[in-house]
Amino acid sequence: MKIGFLGLGNMGQAVAANLLKGGHELLVWNRSPGASQALVEQGATAVSEPAQAFAADVVFSMLADDKALRAVLLDSGLLKQLKGPLIHVNMATIAVAFADELAGLHAAQGVDYIAAPVMGRPNVAAAGKLNIIAAGSGQAIDTVQPLFDLIGTKTWHIGETPSSANVMKLAMNFMLVSAIEAMSEAAVLVTRHGLKSADLVELASSTVFPGPVYAGYGALIGERQYEPAAFKAVLGLKDVDLALAAAGQVSVHMPLADLVRAHLQDAMEHGQGEMDLAVLAEVAERRNPR
C-alpha cells in the first residue's frame, strides 16, 4: 500500500519503521522535519506539507494531542479537501468528544475514519508488539488489518463508533497512572521503615502484580530513574484530564482521577513534566516531608 504517516515522535518513529519493513511505500511528515531523516534513510519519502501525506491509500496520524491534530486537519482546512476512497487511522489518544467530531467530519467527506490508539511503550512499538484498540468501519479495519499486524501483536475491535476506542484507551491510561501512584505511595511507606523500594517492586511484580506496569515503572521508581522518559508526566496529565472530561459527559465521578491529577500537576509545578510518569514517586516524597 501507499501509506501516509503524520507525527514522528518516539512512538510514531517506531510504528512507521515497522510499516516500512513490511515493504510499503511511506510518505512521512513531522512538524520538525529533522525527525523524518532516520525513516528517509530506511526508504521513506519525507513531504513538506501534511496534505502531501494524504496522497495515499491509508494515512496514519500519531500527533501529540487534540490541539496538534485540530491544527493539522481542521484549522488548516485540510480535511475539507479530502475525499474517498481513503482511510485515516488516528492512533493518538484524544478527547472522546473530539473523536466524535472527527468521525462526523470524515464521514461528510466520504473518508473512512478509524480510531486506533495503542498500548505499549516505544520499545514495545519498535518490536512490533503493540496492542491496538481499534474502532470504526469493520470493512475499513479489515482493509488495514495487515498493517496493524506489522505493528502489533493483537488488535482489539471495540465497535463501529470510533470514539469507543478512545474511551477504552483513556480508561486504560487512567488505570496505568493510578497503578504508578499506588506504587509511589507504597515505596515511600517502605523506605520510611528502612526497607528498599526496589525489593517492594520485585516482590509485587513477582507475585500478585506481574506484568509490564509494576515491573517496568516499578523498576524506574526503585532506581529513581525518570529520564529518558518513555511516557512523559505531562502526557499522563493530558490523559487524566481527557478521562475526567469523558467521565463528565456521562456523569461519572472519578475521585481517584482527581487525586492523581493533583499529583501530576505538582510534578508540572516542580519542572518534572518532561520526566517519566514514574516521577510520581518524587511527588509522593514531597507530599510526605520527613
Catalytic residue among 169, 196, 232, 238: 169
Tell me if residue 196 is catalytic: no
Taking CA 265 as the corner, what is the angle to CA 260 and CA 269, rounded to the nearest 5 degrees? 150
Which sequence positions are flagged as catalytic?
Answer: 169
